[in-house]
Amino acid sequence: MKIIPALICCAVLAGGSPLLYAQQDKSEYKLGERLPQPKAPATPQGYTETNWDALVPKNWDPSQLMKGLNLDQMNDSDPRAMEALEKMRKAWSEAPVDPSLNGKRIRIAGFLVPLDAQRGQIKEFLLVPYFGACIHTPPPPANQIIHGVAVKPLKDVQVMSAVWVSGTLETARKDTEFGASGYRLSAVALTPYK
């Protein structure tokens, strides 16, 4: 799924997530950047490598909400723009998931947003498709956010670390301070993205 730049602008104007953390000093990634898919990663046996587009139902197209609107001719306080922004926020928060993925054992690459860092360990996190999502920019659609629960607490993981996560995917909604997720992943393995 390509996130339409106008939709990102709409989400920003609509008051997305606040900046909760300072920009990572030594990050090799730029705000909004996605991880390139390596040609032949070693996928753990029993797990299917999955990309973010696979999490979006084929018939879901949030850009339909913007049809007929010429945003170039509207200012931020235009009631039509405000109404479109509110519809977009609602559509992203309630983005549908693909029920056929329920119970699938997957491996996916993304950026980690800790939910419960305690004593240098993380048990719960969000996995997002692009750098800065949920922290430096508004959250992506719910079908592009995975709520991860680590089988064993994770150590030495930083905010927005690029990682591979393997586990069993469920279609389960979770609302967090950083955004709504449409999927839950019981994470059995987490490795740095290379």
User: Quick one: average pLDDT of 88-99?
Assistant: 92
What are residue 130's DSSP bridge partners?
34
Measure the CA–CA gap between 64 and 114, rounded to whole angstroms.
33
The pLDDT, as a whole number, for residue 19 is: 27
pLDDT tens across 148-175, in order? Answer: 999 998 887 888 899 999 999 999 999 9
Among 10-19, 104-113, 115-124, top mean pLDDT goes to: 104-113
Other Cβ atoms less than 10 A from the Cβ of 106: the count is 21
What are residue 166's DSSP bridge partners?
107, 189
Q: What is the C-alpha radius of gyration for the chain, rounded to an integer number of angstroms? A: 17
Quote the pTM value.
0.77
The pLDDT, as a whole number, for residue 15 is: 37
Alpha-helical runs (H) found in the chain: 5-13, 79-93
The pLDDT, as a whole number, for residue 106 is: 96
Q: Which residue has the tokens 């090799």?
A: 28
